[in-house]
Structure 1
Amino acid sequence: MKFSVLMSIYHKESHQHFDRAMRSVWDEQTIKPNEIVLVEDGVLTDGLYQAIREWKERLTNTLQVVSLKENVGVGAAKNIGIEMCNCELISVMDTDDVSLPKRFEKQLAVFENQDVDVCGAWIGEFEFNETQIISYRRTPEQHNEIVAFAKGRSPVNHVTAMYKKSWVLNVGNYAKYRTSEDYNLFVKLIMAGAKIYNLQESLVSVRMGNEQQVRRGGLKNAMFEADVQVGFYKMGFLNFFEMIRNVSVGFVIRMLPSVLMKVIFKMIRKL
């Protein structure tokens, strides 16, 4: 089955991390993608441009680079990237994470053998050494469990997602949020009747550092999250009690000091 890999990159990314991500989706995979679509979300650093040029030289007929003049955010950048993908199946990848060697092989097998529209997996989180996983974010396997899980948290680890382009376009693509655009997408897909399945193993290793924790906290992020939950209520996905619960819990967590917030997120991983 043919598939595209979709990535977006912005100026704060490390060129070393980008190179590692690219090696994990090309050099190390048992099944290679038919194309890689990379969206440059605004002006990048010299190091990133150099790394992208080197990969473009290697993958002349595979790597498609889309350059945006201004930073528009992950959701808007991926909206543009999805339109540029030529394959019906699209695999999402972040430019600082590491896909394990059999990721694509295992996800393609799900699409070949099951009636699904989205396939995710667990992620393993690391701080400095990708071989030293400190925690996992586990997501439920079957669709009915996934729907129930989505009432409180995003039901698919976005960096592991492989989905059908037609379904994503049918529900209006990613929302132009600066946060939770992936959660919003999966809820819209559920509401539209898409079938979701999560492999019960980690297929992507994700960098987790202090910077990521800081990005999640603060009043602005708490307000963003509240808007997302209100949106789910208006869509009919959450009832009033569920909305109030999610807004309240999210607000408290995001207003905690970063050290405590990190502990809370680790505890949530184990639930």
Structure 2
Amino acid sequence: MSDTVLDQNAWLERIGISSPLPPTLETLNRLIFAHAHSIAYETLDIMLGRPPRLDVPTLQQKMIAGKRGGYCFEQNMLFRAGLRSLGFKITSLQGRVVRGLAIDAPRPAIHMLLKVDLPEGAYLADVGFGNLAPTSALLLAPQIEQQTPHELMRFIDVDGELTLQAKLRENWHHIYRVIPHPRYDAEYEITNWYTATHPETPYQGNIIAAKPGPNKSRITMYNTRVTVRDADGLAEKRWLATTREFKDVLCGEFGLNLSNQEIEDCIAVMKHKGTGDTPHPFFA
């Protein structure tokens, strides 16, 4: 996949940055924060029978020109292209999601991550995890508590894989283990196809969206349930009932460019195949 076809100006405009910036740690933090707040995590195309494509022209058309969001492979592929266009040195990685599971759970590598090499060291960049994606770069080193614009985070070494954790209220929650070995794009294509088409993944029948908000808040949507978590970790939940309410949240609060028909189709799939209000460990 060639990153050279990225329209850098269009990407920067989409995330609210007016001009190219030097490839520094300060710039990386600014880009992560801006991208995460501008382009929501969402998996609705999978519900609509449209497995995501990961080539940069398609990602640009969908997420920049089309004003949609995407899930981890889409988000981090687009972000990687943007970073490379600005001169950042990137290594593509994968992670094992352990959100809501044991820290050493035997998990497949189904999450895309980026390692950014800077004079200050190697940093993790991830704009595609959804409700707990770090909103700044994180130094890839264990046992260092690192403050982001949202949660306090750290890495714990588990047999050579750094496990990302976030502190919610007084407790540390596991997110994913980082596999330190470089990955080829073909491996993302295989994993993307699996996560987008396997009938037992949560994306087939459930409306899922997430986005960081102001004042360290985060908003997450899982089917009819919308959760806003504040800086102290307190969650306010509400449940949607009408198509109008779904449209107000998806198009208004998440900023997604969806037609009325697409929203109605997602609701129909959710009612037929979704897991209802049953909590999912990845989207708690």
Fold equivalence (TM over 0.5): no
- Which structure carries more helix by proportion? 1
- Which structure carries more strand by proportion? 2
